[in-house]
Amino acid sequence: MLSKDSDKKLFLIDAYALIFRAYYAFIKNPRINSKGINTSAVFGFTNALLEVIRNEKPTHLAVVFDPPGGSFRTEVFEEYKANRDETPEDIKISVPLIHR
């Protein structure tokens, strides 16, 4: 049986916002795996995603990643994200794992 449109629930997840939030949530007590890799971002991202699925029961869900090499925003506004620190190496390592 098809559900009514009003029964549908869509969630759009900003991947990088959640990845950074997860990484910094464990900054004082990072999650390190047996290979010595900091998996805090992977762990926190996965837990948050599972929590959304479990608690909100979306009918549709999409995780959206920033495109590689930036976006049109830097062309329009040079100062877009210009004052941000370099992305921590542990996050750079985690992104491909999360992307899978």
Sketch out the chain's domains with CATH numbers: 10-99 (3.40.50.1010)
Stretch among 1-5, 28-32, 60-64 having the lowest mean pLDDT: 1-5
What is d(CA 37, CA 39) in angstroms, rounded to the nearest whole number?
6
Q: Which of 41, 7, 49, 9 is nearest to 24 (CA)?
A: 41
**Has residue 8 got a pLDDT over 60?**
yes
What is the average pLDDT across 63-81?
76
Q: 38-71 burial by CB neighbour count: b if 16+ within 10 A, else e?
A: bbbbbbbbeebbeeeeeeeeeeeeeeeeeeeeee
Q: What is the pLDDT of residue 65?
A: 94
User: For position 81, what pLDDT does the model report?
Assistant: 64
